[in-house]
A = this chain, B = another copy of it.
Amino acid sequence: MSGVDLNSDLGEGFGRWSLGDDDRMLAVVSSANVACGFHAGDPATIRRTVRAAVAHGVAIGAHVGYRDLAGFGRRAMDVPGDELRADVLYQLGALCGIAAAEGGRVAYVKPHGALYHAAAKDERVARDVAVAVGDLDPGLTMLGQPGTAALAVAADVGLRVATEAFADRAYAPDGTLLPRSAPGAVLRDPDEVARRVLRLATEGVVEAVDGSLVPVAADSVCVHGDTPGAAAMAERVREVLDAAGVPVRPFVGGAH
């Protein structure tokens, strides 16, 4: 791998409320999953985030979610297909408009929270998301976990697909994530996490919980920034990559 993409969720404030430190994270990542207003992100916050992403040369992704501000889009919802497709299209269109006004463009889509999980497992949901994206712009890329319905269906619909790994998560020997509830599933040590990302970027492998080396195909690595500790971990990842001379650059070519 001649470089690595780091992606993170940004623009997740809403009006008076902020979440995470977007300015700090924009110095770390190469791709920004920008909230689109349904789970977070009022228009002014979205616009500031997009403007800053453009200024940093960071690729813009649409972080579309369920219409659920109170639950931050993390609560599973059974949304009928025509409503879900229209909801995705609306959010994506809004972000595209803001991006255009700021001299950028939306390069990819990554569903958020409960919609991310539903699209990973439920083919109908995956299809609704992918079809809505394709209806607007078939040149967009769908970002998701390898082996999920989300990516399989997106490819089937004609979208480009990109895979992501998670910097702070433990892997099983078969290359899947350990469930969050499992002991040790979430890694806390910034140095360890940074070393793992470096290895993933340079060797394409992750050390699984049993010590075995698992090949993980990842076009991007997801890092978090919603707490001060998370942002510090992301910064450590970036430092280690920079020190090793591994370029951090968007996974989507010519993103803007």
A71-B83, A83-B44, A86-B46 as given contacts; A100 in contact with B16, CB under 8 Å: no
Q: Determine whether the beta carbon of B15 is less than 8 Å from that of A70.
A: yes
> At the interface, yes or no: A98 with Cβ under 8 Å from chain B?
yes
Count of this chain's copies in the oligomeric assembly: 4
Chain B nearest Cβ from A189, distance in angstroms: 25
Which chain B residue has the least Cβ–Cβ distance from A91?
B94
Residues on the B chain within 8 Å of A15, using CB: 69-72
> Taking beta carbons and an 8 Å cutoff, which residues of A are in contact with B?
12-19, 37, 40, 42-44, 46-47, 67-72, 74-80, 82-83, 86-87, 89-98, 100-101, 114, 132, 135-137
With A15-B69, A16-B40, A40-B16: A93-B100 Cβ-Cβ less than 8 Å: yes
Q: State which of B17, B69, B71 has its C-beta within 8 Å of the C-beta of A79.
A: B71
* C-alpha gap A37/B69 in the complex (Å): 13
Q: Is the CB of A89 within 8 A of B97?
A: yes
| A79→B70 CA distance, assembly (Å) | 10
For the complex, what is the distance from the CA of A23 to the CA of B30, rounded to whole Å?
A: 37
Residues in B whose Cβ lies below 8 Å from that of A93: 93-98, 100-101
Chain A to chain B: the 5 pairs with minimum beta-carbon distance, closest first: A93-B97, A17-B17, A43-B86, A43-B90, A16-B72
- Chain B nearest CB, measured from A63 CB (Å): 14
* Distance between Cα atoms of A80 and B72 in the complex (Å): 13
Q: A45: shortest Cβ distance to chain B, in Å?
A: 8
The answer for the CA separation of A80 and B114 in the assembled complex, in Å, is: 13
With A17-B17, A76-B77, A78-B75 known as contacts, the answer to whether A97 contacts B97 (CB < 8 A) is yes
Complex interface: chain B residues within 8 A of A98 (CB): 86, 89-90, 93
Q: How far is the CB of A127 from chain B (nearest CB, A)?
A: 15
